[in-house]
Structure formats: structure tokens, C-alpha cells
Structure 1
Amino acid sequence: MSFTVAIVGRPNVGKSTLFNRLVGKKLALVDDLPGVTRDRRPGDAKLIDLRFRIIDTAGLEEAHEDSLEGRMRAQTEAAIDEADVSLFLVDAKHGLTPMDKTLAEMLRRRNKPVVLVANKSEARGSDAGFYDAYTLGLGEPCPISAEHGQGMIDLRDAIVAAIGEEKAFGEEDVAETDVEIRPTEEELDDENYEPVYDDTKPLRIAVVGRPNAGKSTLINRFLGEDRLLTGPEAGITRDSISVEW
């Protein structure tokens, strides 16, 4: 992938919905309950003629750094620092909040490319929220509907304008098509069936267990970094997260 994009914004502005649309799969949990996404989730995205790596993030909130929300914020800030450009989502339907303005200031201080995205712009009464987004000082907002797929061409153009054509259309890594070979029903019914191990593909490991057994801590130990949220709270990880090792 030639570049990396981080999707950021306060809770419930549609970040995971946009992530799922761009990766073409329902990889991230989507719910009306705020705070469903906690860890940063990477994926391979496609937008018209663009191919890039995308990172879904937790909703940004003001919080003490030692709290769960503060640790979620640190994960999101790590994604912003890693990305070449951030898509800053605001909710055009419900309008701006003080948190939107705080986050806009934080993004400006980082001095990295930002595309301001006014999501839910298809909703009745969203015009006021769209025009209010200009007051954030991050340029012209790009109106989209992540749920319905509207405005994707404009979003593509805004990303190219933010990072430049050379970065947007740079040479992509050449990789073999990853085709997953699944066993047939007859093979699964055969008690003597043994799955074929393909040593040309990376080994995949699933870490499972009951809440607070130390799954995320073990993965962080493997990776040598605090990649996943950990803490004394039960059920911190709400979603399955795929990471390269």
C-alpha cells in the first residue's frame, strides 16, 4: 500500500461505518452505543482508483491519561502519528460539539495533512452542520454518507489533494493474491481429514480465552509494543483485531 489513512473523530460520528465501506467488509463493530471501537484496527482499503492502508480508531474524548478513555485516546494519537493523512469526521446531522473543536485544534498542532469530512450529510437538516464545519479552520469539509456510500468520489479527490498525486499513486507493493482454501463439507465430515498447511502463506495465530486472562498483554509481548489496550477492566477488547507480527 502506498500510503496510510487514519479515521478520527469523537464517538458515534460514523468512523467504523466508513472503515467498513472502504475495506469492503464488515470488519469493525458498528453500534449506536458510543465507545464500541477501542483499539486501532488496520485494514486494506479501496476508494475508486486508490489503494491504501486504513486505520479505524476509538472516538476521541477528553480524559485522564491513566483512565480507559485516556488509554484509548493514546491509541488514536498513535494512529494519527503513523498515518500520512487523517480523515477527521464530524456529524453534519447533529452539528458540532465542543469536543470537535478540541480535536480540530489537536490535529492542527500535529501539522500533518487532514481531510475534514462531514458525515451524515444526506440527512434532512444537515446543511447547518455542514457549514458550521468551516469554523474548525481545517478547510472545506467534504460531505459524505458513509452508510449509503454517497460522496466517495469527492472524498477520493480530497485525499489526493491532501497528500499529492505522487504519494497517492506511488508504486504499490506487488503481492500474490491471497486465496484462502477452505475445506469442503465432505472433508469436514471425514474424521480422518487433516487440513493442508500452506508454507507459502504467513502463519496465523488466534489468541483466545476468557476476559482478563491476559490475551492482549501476551500479544503486546509478542509485538514488543503496547499495540492493544490492556488494564484491570474486564472486557476491554470488544472486537477481534488482526495485527502483523
Structure 2
Amino acid sequence: MSFTVAIVGRPNVGKSTLFNRLVGKKLALVDDTPGVTRDRRPGDAKLVDLKFRIIDTAGLEQSAPDSLQGRMWAQTEAAIDEADLSLFVIDAKAGLTPADETLAEMLRRRGKPVVVVANKAEARGSEGGFYDAFTLGLGEPCPVSAEHGQGMLDLRDAIIAALGEERAFPPAEDVAETDVDIRPESGGVGAEDEEEPAYDETKPLRVAIVGRPNAGKSTLINRFLGEDRLLTGPEAGITRDSISVEWQWRGRTIKMFDTAGMRRKAKVQEKLEKLSVADALRAIRFAETVVIVFDATIPFEKQDLQIVDLVLREGRAAVLAFNKWDLVENWQAVLADLREKTERLLPQARGIKAVPISGHTGYGLDRLMQAIIDTDKVWNRRISTARLNRWLESQQVQHPPPAVSGRRLKLKYMTQVKARPPGFMISCTRPEAVPESYIRYLTNGLRTDFDLPGVPIRIHLRASENPYESKARKKR
């Protein structure tokens, strides 16, 4: 991107609405409640012919530095320092407030270009607030309506005037390789006879961090990054938006998503929390590997198990991280207990990798990343059809399918139809009669014999085609 823009202003002036308008997607949570945004959220914006990086920030609230609002404002100041230009959003309908004047003074001291954006200019009576904005001494305000998309051309011209043509339109650079996986998904016609392809160690990896509130998800990501990039604190439920950050681990790009804590569905009553949880679910679906963070001091709550089950049902690769390990006293006894409970309480993810870590001290983070890479390899694995059919024959010899209504079931053919997660198709007689217990037997056998621990395995049964069926119909 050519330059970076930070959107700043007091709470509830429409910063996140403008952010969504500029990035062209509803990435940031928007609600009538003031102070929805807490972390700074980056995005790639496009405004007519301008392309730039944009950062949504929390609203200015005067508070003590160690309070939640104070820490939120520290994040906003970091975004202003990082940006080349600030969009100072005011509410033209409500007019100027002392908080607007305080922020204007702070922006003047920074000495960086500023564009005053008079939002909600479509509202009746907004003219007074628009003309009041001239008193800020930051130049002519730009009237817009972020909700309805009005005034975007004027905003584009104001940004160019503030930065200059050369800064706004830098010389074209060579197109970099995209981090989006554009390769066709494994499986399909002609793929069943191929051997397992080599795992791409250089491909960027998308990882989502999920868990209950106050499990230490944001602290963990900050420790990975080596900076206070995400807002943290003792309060539960600080994170609301799903924030993505990129960093390098042993030369590989990792795109990691911090998500809001997910409580039991019955306890989620407020609209804002429902939006936060929905955003977290979208992050899970977009990710390839999901790290479920447990609080090691109170592990295996019912909600922890439900989150793991949700991740597996979505078909994602899962890794367990027992955080706050620095608070555990008897390490060996607790670790043995956690291993026993993992095997007993999560039979649908037999062999899932579980790593004790401490986001506060950094203990175990390399082992966690290695577990993520290893699990992603399993999630992408393919097995040749020839090996699968030899395996299926041996499994039926050891444990033949049951007879249903006096007729023996026959499993004739097996192939892997997809990866990510591994999915298999078995051609058989009367697929509807195959009991669930036998499918579990095959699933466990696949895990053991082909080394597929901890990832969801899909087995689909299909009736074998009868080549004489059409002839029998003609005789009728």
C-alpha cells in the first residue's frame, strides 16, 4: 500500500462505519453503543483511484492510563504515530465537544497531515456542526455520510491535497505474490491415484486463536509479536472485533486472528456480544488451524469442550493450548491429569496436540507453533487410492461389516475425495444400513494406520452402481 491512514475521533461518531465504507466490507463491528471499537484494526482501503492502508481506532475518552479506556487510547496514539495521515472524524449533527478540541490539539502537536471529516452530514441540522469544525484550526472540513456513501469524492480530493500527488500516487511497483491460496482444492476427478503431494513449507498459514473470555488469547498473540499490539488486561471480554496480525516464524508468514471470548450461548444476551461471537465464528471459518486456549488453572469447563467440538465440526485443524502455565505449581501431576482428560473428554479428536504455554512469560510458544505446523500438515494430507483399498480390505478381514436383515454389507471401493480436512468416499451396498459404530471403527483405523491424529475425518458412503440396472428397467 502507498500510505497509511488512521481514523480517529471521540466515541460514536462513525469511525468504524467509515472504515467499513473504505475497505468495502463489514469488517469492523458497528453498533449504536459508544465505545464498540477497542483494538486498532488495519485494513486495505480503496477510494476511487486511491489505494492505501487504513487503521480503525478506539474513541478518545479521558481516563487514567492504567484503566481500560486509558489503554484503549494508548492503542489509538500508536496508530496515529504509525500513520502518514489522520482522518479526524467529528459528528456534524451533534457539533463539537471538549473531547474533539482535546483531540485536535493533540493532532496539531503531532505535526502530521490531518483531514477533518464531518460525518453524518446528511442529517437535518448538521450545518451548524460543519461550520463549527472550522474553529479547530485543522483546515476545511470534508462533509460526508459514511452510512450512505455521500461525499467520498470530496474525501478523496482532501486526502490528495493533504498528502500531495507524489505521496498519494507513488510509482507503480512490481506485483507481489498474493497470500491467498488460489490453488484448486485437493481431490476431484483424476486425483484419486496420486500419491500424497509435498507439503508447502513456505505458504502463509492462517491461524485463529479462540477460547473462553479471559483465557489469555490477546496476551498470547502479543507475546508472539513481541509488542503490545492488542489490548489486554484483567477485565474479561476486552476483545470484541476479530483482529488479524501478520508476523514471521522461522521464515514463514503467519496470519493470526485474535477473537472475542465465547461464553455459553444461554449467557449471550446483549446484541454487541452476539456480534462479537459471530465475528469470531467467521474467523474460525476463514482460518486453517485453530488454537483453542484453555485456562490451565480451570481447564475443561463445559464451554471449552463445546468450543473444541465447534471447531472440529467446522472442519478446521485444532490445537489445544493450556495457558497460564506459570500459575501451575505441581507441573508433572497437572500435565498427566490434562493428558488423561484430553483423551477421555475429546474422543472425536483422538491424538489432538495439547501444549502447556504461558503467554505472560513466553514459555512453550515454540512448541505451540511447531504443533500448529505439524497439525496443518496432517490436515492437508492425501493418501493414494491403492493404499486405501488395501487398507479397507484388511479392515474388513479383521472386523467384517455386520449383517443387516440377514444380508451382509459389502464395502467395495475407497478413495480420498478431498483434503483440508481429509474426506473419504466408500462405495458399498446399502449405505443407509451401515451402522454408526462401524464408521467410527473405520475412522479410528484411519487415524492409527495413516497417522491422522487430531484432525476431523469425514467418511461418506455411496451406493455402488449396478451396471445391469438400466437393462432390468427396459425389460419391464
Identity %, equivalent residues: 83
1:199 is displaced (CA, Å) by 5.3
Q: Is the 8 A contact 2:17 2:30 kept in 1?
A: yes
Residue 228 in structure 1 maps to residue 230 in structure 2: yes
1:209 is displaced (CA, Å) by 0.8
1:215-240 per-residue CA deviation (whole Å, 9 max, x = no partner) reads: 00000000000000110000000110
Equivalent residue, structure 1, for 2:176: 175
Question: 2:63 is matched by which residue type in structure 1?
Answer: A
Q: Is the 8 A contact 2:5 2:83 kept in 1?
A: yes
Long gaps (5+) in structure 1: 187-193
Q: Is the 8 A contact 1:207 1:215 kept in 2?
A: yes
Question: 1:212 is matched by which residue type in structure 2?
Answer: N
Equivalent residue, structure 1, for 2:245: 243
Specify which structure has the bigger relative contact order, considering alpha-carbon pairs within 8 angstroms and separated by 6 or more residues.
1
Equivalent residue, structure 1, for 2:119: 119
Task: Normalising by structure 2, report the TM-score.
Answer: 0.48
SS in 2 for 1:207: strand
1:176 is displaced (CA, Å) by 3.6
1:72-113 per-residue CA deviation (whole Å, 9 max, x = no partner) reads: 000000000000000000000111111101110010011111
Task: Normalising by structure 1, report the TM-score.
Answer: 0.92
Q: Is the 8 A contact 2:179 2:204 kept in 1?
A: no
Provide the C-alpha distance between the structure 2 equivalents of 1:109 and 1:154, rounded to a whole number of angstroms.
26
1:26-75 per-residue CA deviation (whole Å, 9 max, x = no partner) reads: 00000000111000000000000000000000001111100000000000
Equivalent residue, structure 2, for 1:191: none
Provide the C-alpha distance between the structure 1 equivalents of 2:160 and 2:201, rounded to a whole number of angstroms.
38
Which segments of structure 1 move beyond 6 Å, counting only runs of 4 or more? none
Provide the C-alpha distance between the structure 1 equivalents of 2:30 and 2:200, rounded to a whole number of angstroms.
34
SS in 1 for 2:240: coil
Residue 17 in structure 1 maps to residue 26 in structure 2: no
Question: 2:246 is matched by which residue type in structure 1?
Answer: E
Equivalent residue, structure 1, for 2:107: 107
Q: Is the 8 A contact 1:2 1:172 kept in 2?
A: no
Q: How many residues align?
A: 238
Equivalent residue, structure 2, for 1:153: 153
Question: 2:164 is matched by which residue type in structure 1?
Answer: G
1:198 is displaced (CA, Å) by 6.0
SS in 2 for 1:31: coil
Provide the C-alpha distance between the structure 2 equivalents of 1:5 and 1:44, rounded to a whole number of angstroms.
10
1:121-175 per-residue CA deviation (whole Å, 9 max, x = no partner) reads: 0111100000001111111000000000000011001101111111110135522
Provide the C-alpha distance between the structure 2 equivalents of 1:79 and 1:157, rounded to a whole number of angstroms.
23
1:6 is displaced (CA, Å) by 0.2
Provide the C-alpha distance between the structure 1 equivalents of 2:199 and 2:230, rounded to a whole number of angstroms.
28
Shift in alpha-carbon separation, 1:17–1:197, aligned structure 2, 3 A = farther
Equivalent residue, structure 2, for 1:190: none
Equivalent residue, structure 1, for 2:458: none
Q: Is the 8 A contact 1:2 1:167 kept in 2?
A: yes
Counting only pairs closer than 5 Å after superposition, residues 1-245 of structure 1 correspond to structure 2 as 1-171=1-171, 174-177=175-178, 179-180=180-181, 201-245=203-247
Question: 1:175 is matched by which residue type in structure 2?
Answer: A
Shift in alpha-carbon separation, 1:53–1:33, aligned structure 2, 3 A = same
More strand by share: 2
Shift in alpha-carbon separation, 1:197–1:235, aligned structure 2, 3 A = farther
Provide the C-alpha distance between the structure 2 equivalents of 1:198 and 1:127, rounded to a whole number of angstroms.
58
Q: Is the 8 A contact 2:63 2:69 kept in 1?
A: yes
Equivalent residue, structure 1, for 2:283: none
Q: Please, which moves more after superposition, 117-126 or 168-177?
A: 168-177
Q: Is the 8 A contact 2:63 2:70 kept in 1?
A: yes
SS in 2 for 1:204: strand
SS in 2 for 1:242: strand
Question: 2:100 is matched by which residue type in structure 1?
Answer: D
1:180 is displaced (CA, Å) by 5.0
Shift in alpha-carbon separation, 1:202–1:178, aligned structure 2, 3 A = closer
1:13 is displaced (CA, Å) by 0.4
Shift in alpha-carbon separation, 1:120–1:219, aligned structure 2, 3 A = same
Provide the C-alpha distance between the structure 2 equivalents of 1:198 and 1:239, rounded to a whole number of angstroms.
31
Provide the C-alpha distance between the structure 2 equivalents of 1:197 and 1:153, rounded to a whole number of angstroms.
46
Provide the C-alpha distance between the structure 1 equivalents of 2:82 and 2:50, rounded to a whole number of angstroms.
19
SS in 2 for 1:227: coil
SS in 2 for 1:17: helix
